Structures are given as structure tokens and as C-alpha cells.
A and B are shown apart, each in its own frame.
Chain A
Amino acid sequence: MSVRYRPVQWNRSKVVYDTCLGVGVALYLLIYLRWAPGLVEPPLIGGAELRMRAFGTCAFWMLTLILCIGPLARLDRRFLPVLYNRRHFGVLTFFVAVAHLYTVLGWYTAFSPIDPWVALLGSNTDLSFLGFPFEWLGIAALTVLFAMAATSHDFWLAFLTPPVWKRLHMLVYAAYGLVVMHVTLGVLQAEASLAYGAMIGISLAVVAGLHVVAGRVEARRDTAPVSDADGWVQVARIDELEDGVGRTVTLPGGERAAVFRHGDKISALSNACAHQNGPLGEGRILDGCVTCPWHGFQYDPETGRAPAPFTEKVATYRLRRDGDRLLIDPRALPPGTRTEPVRLAEAVS
């Protein structure tokens, strides 16, 4: 949560996260460029060609991992810390992809009187499928990664508003598709070895498979809401609610609410965090506040407002009890509206 925008709000987790990222990229490149070539009988491909492939495959592997983080975190919450700083992962992927581009510009388009950019975009004009200028696809993917990296900061999130920002960042799937085609119409057309084709196939299968599985599991969690005569929806039996732990309810319109028992009180908020739509219902109460599982933004359970000096707020919902059942009014109240919590003591009595 931030009141002022700083380049990065560093904390220990982010430092550790970024160190792991840096070590991973360095390890991959060192093995690819320094160690593994020693295992091959000479002649090996040229040094510049080897660097193109090292950076290119590294960026592809990073993009694959990034796309796996979301569904993994939905399937198993222990992956949430990997999601926490996913933006830095994305920004680093962009830089590795830039290194790939610059190796190409410094070799294939070098030593020629033609401007490297003109050469890159203009020297292959074969528009048939197998001959297609796969370089264009790579540049398009890189443009998307650039837009995402450039707007990754929370300033842009606030400036563009979360829905627009989210939509922009969903373009990562378009970038991935472009990269898959870039590789398929590029190196797969040149290299007979099965390893490169297998890399693409496994990546596609894992990314698509995880998304399908996570979607199914979530669909199963979204049990159809049971409404009362007056439209109120049943949340749970009151004695089922664990203190300090959220519960997600799907409302008739498809919206979701997050219901929290905090001490002997029960309150409900929108499930969508004001930061990046993180699932508040999967959060906890910490220091009396609902805490988002993604980046830890906090909200007062009764008002939906972040504690001062922060200004984020989310919608709240009215609750009422009916015997031992807890009911919710599916009509959201404007963000930051105070609601009366349901008291556990009277409910049980």
C-alpha cells in the first residue's frame, strides 16, 4: 500500500525474490554460454548465434514460468509468495528479450550499409506461412512486454484504473502466443533437433493445462448461490466460520463477496481488492484488518476502507442472521460504506 509513489517499495521478500530471479537468469546463461558448449564436440554454432539462442530460450522459459504462477497460486495458496513480486519477473523477462533482440541487431543486421532496423523489418518479405518473417512476431511480442514493463508500477495502476491496467496486462497471453509462433516459424524451421519443438510443446501443454485445471477447480468452488424469498443469499452456517479467516461467496450476479469473522463480529466486503483485484476472501484478518493475500493491502472489515493514511476502499455488503444461518444482501453498497456487523454472541444465543 502506498501513499506516495516510490520506484520500488523494497522489503525483505522483494529482495529475496529478485535475488532468486537474478541467480536463476545468471545460472541459465552461464550454463548455456560457458559450460554446456564444452560438452559438445566442436564445431558448435557461432558465438553470436549461441547468444541469440541463450537469451531467446531464457526469455521463453521465463514467460512460461510467469504464466504458470497465476493458476498455481489459485490451486495451491502456498504459491502466493511467488505471485507477490511477479511484476519484477515480467520486467526482467523483458530485459532478457531485449538482449536477444540486440544480439540479432549486432550480428544478422550488422556489417551492412542498410540501417539495422530497416533490415530487421524489411529484408524478409515472404508472406507465405512457412516463410513468414517471424522477426515481426518477435518484435510484436516485445512491444507488448515493453508496454507491460513500462506500466508495471503502481502509479500506472492508479493512473489507468485497475480494470484498464488489468486488461492491458492480460495481453501477456497475446505476447506468449506471438512468441510461440515466433519460435515455430523461426528456429523450428531451421533446427531439425527435436529438443526445440519439445520445449514449445511442453510449455504450451503445461500453461494451457494449468489454466484449465485451475478454472475447473474454481468453477467447482463457485457453488450456485441459494437465495431467500427476499433475494438474500445464504453464506454459511454461523458456527462454520473460522475466526480471522475469509470465506468467498458467489452472488447471483456472478460477483463475489468476502465474508470475515473477526472476534465475535462478522462482516462482508467485495472480494476484489482495490489494488489488483486480489481475492480478499482468501485473505486473513491481521491487526483487526482484512489483509489481501496478494500484496497485503488492508481494509477495515466494517467500512471497507484502508486504515489511514491509505485511501483505498472497497464495496461492503449487508449481513443478517436467520437462526444459525448467515445471509448476505447481494446488492453491494458503495465503496467505503459502514455496515453493522452481525454479532456472534446474539447469533448463537
Chain B
Amino acid sequence: MTRQGRAPFYVGYLKTPRALLAFLAIVVGGVLGVSAVLAVTLVVAQDDWGDAGFQWGDGYQTRTGILKVEPYPVLFLPPDAAYPQGRAIPLSGEGKRGVRDKAADLDGKPVDIGGFLLRAGDRDMLQVGGEVDLRPARDRSALAGFSGPSSEAVGKRTLRGEIVDSKCYLGAMRPGEGKTHKLCANLCLIGGIPPMFVVYRADGPPEVLLLADLQGGPVTDALLDDTARYVELSGTVERRADLLVFRVDPATLKHL
């Protein structure tokens, strides 16, 4: 036992001894300093999640094209100089909702679509809503006889990547992928947002494929437990305009 008769004794409801005050000031200053360094480190050290986002700056957009409902609603634009294969724009509703209900009667038909764009890399998505929303096309002349894309088989593939909800991944949230976002991804998918498979590549931006089941229909329910993880899936890939569609057999899914 050391002699401590002269050490300052602290009682909360009495005046704090001077010697202790100096010590406590150092402790408080130290903790505040470490807190500041911690806050800066944790912000600066975050991964780069890319620059996907809503294109609010472009304003309200309208497009006219052919609507395909399966596996998930996608608008196809006729080929032009910039997109000789034609262009595919997956569709989402507002919030965590898809547009399958609105689209059901217009499958394969020319439609006008209005809303706001989301973009990641060169992949666009349209959040349908507002004045034009989703309606039969009023003026088909721009389509110049275009009646929708042909499907071109790419072949059987086994791919590794992450199942994401396309809306968040393409810019509604950042990050719109990964475990912390899994809760949100599942809500979006349950709400009808098209699921996509993101294949990360060492040599360039990730490849993004629209998911479907082997028959080419929606596959959401079978994949909900496996979103936001690194997984392997097997199936066949086909190209529709500039969009790759990955028809998968959920039974082939493997966690990596």
C-alpha cells in the first residue's frame, strides 16, 4: 500500500482539487484529439464507390420505344449512330417499386415514357413517373418501323459477381451494393426493381447483366438470400440491344 494521504481526493459534489483538474484537462483534451483524428480517418479511408447517381441536372426526360415486360420491364430504343445495336433502358418506379403492373398491358408495344434518369458508367435507368409516366406512344414516327430488339445468344456462362438491385446500384444510393446495403437491396427487389448481376473486372468497369430465370421470366424470389454477396451463378447469356441478359438456374448459385 502506498501512502496516499496527500493525493488529491475527488468528491463529485465538492470542489475538484486543483492538481486533479490539470490531469482531467489533459485526459479530456486527449480524448477530444483522438476523436477528431478518428472522425477524419474514418471518412478519408472510405472506399471509392464510384459516381453513380440520379441525373437530376438533365431534368425530366421522355423517351419513345418498344416496351418489353419480361423478365423485367425494359424500354428499347431504335438503333442510332451512337448505339448501332439499339439501346436498352431498364425501368423502375418511384421509391422501391417496379413498373410491372403499369407495363403489363403494353408488352411489346410502342410507348412513351417520362421520368428521371439514373446512370452508372454508360448504363442508364429511368425512374418512371410525372406527366408522361408510361403510356401508349402518341407518335410512332420516331420508331421508323422498329419493333423491338432481337435476342442474340452469347452462350453458356458461369460468372462470379454480386446480385444487386439495379436502381440503387445505378445511382439511387451510394454505395448501392455490399452487405450494409443488403436490407435496402432486398426491399427494392421485393418491390419489383429488376435484379442485376455485377461482374467486377480487374481490367475495367464492372459488367452489369440483367438477371432472369432459365425460361426468361423474373427470378427475384429465388435470389433474395444471396444478394449483396460474392457468388457464382451459371446459365446462358443473351444480348438484347446493348443489354446482356443472364438466364440463370438459382440452384447453381455458390457462395464464394
A interface residues, Cβ below 8 angstroms from B: 11-14, 20, 23-24, 27-29, 31-32, 35-37, 39-40, 42-46, 48-50, 52-54, 57, 61, 65, 77-82, 84-85, 104, 107-114, 119-120, 123-126, 128, 130-131, 133-135, 185-187, 189-196, 199, 240, 242-245, 247, 283-284, 286, 291, 293, 295-296
Q: Which candidate, B37-45, B80-88, B134-142, B148-156, is the interface stretch facing chain A?
A: B37-45
The answer for the CA separation of A260 and B179 in the assembled complex, in Å, is 58
A193 and B226 contacting across the interface, CB-CB below 8 Å: no
A84 and B12 contacting across the interface, CB-CB below 8 Å: yes
B229 and A130 contacting across the interface, CB-CB below 8 Å: yes
Which residues, 26 to 77 on B, are CB-close (under 8 Å) to A? 27-28, 31-32, 35-36, 38-51, 53
B36 and A11 contacting across the interface, CB-CB below 8 Å: no
The answer for the CA separation of A78 and B24 in the assembled complex, in Å, is 8
> Given contacts A43-B51, A126-B225, A191-B47, are A57 and B42 in contact (CB under 8 A)?
yes
- Closest A residue to B19 by CB, please name it: A78
Interface residues on B, range: 35 or more
List the B side residues contacting A243 at CB < 8 Å: 5
> B252 contacts the other chain (Cβ, under 8 Å)?
no
B32 and A24 contacting across the interface, CB-CB below 8 Å: yes
Rounded to whole Å, the gap between the CB of A208 and the closest CB of chain B is 18
A190 and B43 contacting across the interface, CB-CB below 8 Å: no
A199 and B38 contacting across the interface, CB-CB below 8 Å: yes
A–B pairs, 20, beta carbons within 8 Å:
A32-B39, A36-B43, A43-B53, A43-B174, A44-B46, A46-B175, A57-B38, A84-B10, A108-B184, A111-B95, A112-B95, A112-B188, A123-B187, A131-B228, A133-B183, A186-B179, A189-B179, A193-B46, A243-B5, A245-B4
List the A side residues contacting B23 at CB < 8 Å: 78
A43 and B50 contacting across the interface, CB-CB below 8 Å: yes
B interface residues, Cβ below 8 angstroms from A: 1, 3-5, 7-16, 20, 23-24, 27-28, 31-32, 35-36, 38-51, 53, 94-97, 173-175, 177-184, 186-188, 190-191, 224-226, 228-229, 255
Rank and list the top 6 A-B pairs by shortest CB-CB distance, nearest first.
Answer: A190-B178, A111-B95, A195-B45, A36-B43, A189-B179, A108-B184
List the B side residues contacting A113 at CB < 8 Å: 96-97, 191
B44 and A36 contacting across the interface, CB-CB below 8 Å: yes
CB < 8 Å: which of B12, B45, B183 contacts A81? B12
The answer for the CA separation of A113 and B47 in the assembled complex, in Å, is 31
A24 and B35 contacting across the interface, CB-CB below 8 Å: yes
CB < 8 Å: which of A123, A187, A291 contacts B183? A123
A81 and B10 contacting across the interface, CB-CB below 8 Å: yes
A242 and B3 contacting across the interface, CB-CB below 8 Å: yes
Q: Which of A80, A85, A194 has most chain B Cβ within 10 Å?
A: A80
CB < 8 Å: which of A11, A65, A112, A190 contacts B12? A11
CB < 8 Å: which of B9, B24, B175, B225 contacts A190? B175
Q: Which of B15, B44, B177 has most chain A Cβ within 10 Å?
A: B44
B42 and A53 contacting across the interface, CB-CB below 8 Å: yes
The answer for the CA separation of A59 and B49 in the assembled complex, in Å, is 24
CB < 8 Å: which of B4, B20, B45, B183 contacts A119? B183
A32 and B43 contacting across the interface, CB-CB below 8 Å: yes
List the B side residues contacting A110 at CB < 8 Å: 95
A49 and B12 contacting across the interface, CB-CB below 8 Å: no
Rounded to whole Å, the gap between the CB of B19 and the closest CB of chain A is 9
CB < 8 Å: which of A27, A78, A190 contacts B35? A27
List the A side residues contacting B11 at CB < 8 Å: 286, 291, 296
Q: Which of A12, A40, A46 has most chain B Cβ within 10 Å?
A: A46
Rounded to whole Å, the gap between the CB of B79 and the closest CB of chain A is 32
List the B side residues contacting A42 at CB < 8 Å: 51
The answer for the CA separation of A69 and B212 in the assembled complex, in Å, is 55
B39 and A28 contacting across the interface, CB-CB below 8 Å: yes
A195 and B95 contacting across the interface, CB-CB below 8 Å: no
The answer for the CA separation of A190 and B44 in the assembled complex, in Å, is 16
- Closest A residue to B95 by CB, please name it: A111
- Closest A residue to B25 by CB, please name it: A20
A28 and B96 contacting across the interface, CB-CB below 8 Å: no
> Given contacts A11-B13, A284-B9, are A36 and B40 in contact (CB under 8 A)?
yes
A43 and B49 contacting across the interface, CB-CB below 8 Å: yes
The answer for the CA separation of A54 and B42 in the assembled complex, in Å, is 9
List the A side residues contacting B40 at CB < 8 Å: 31, 35-36, 39
The answer for the CA separation of A142 and B39 in the assembled complex, in Å, is 22
CB < 8 Å: which of B1, B38, B45 contacts A247? B1
The answer for the CA separation of A110 and B168 in the assembled complex, in Å, is 13
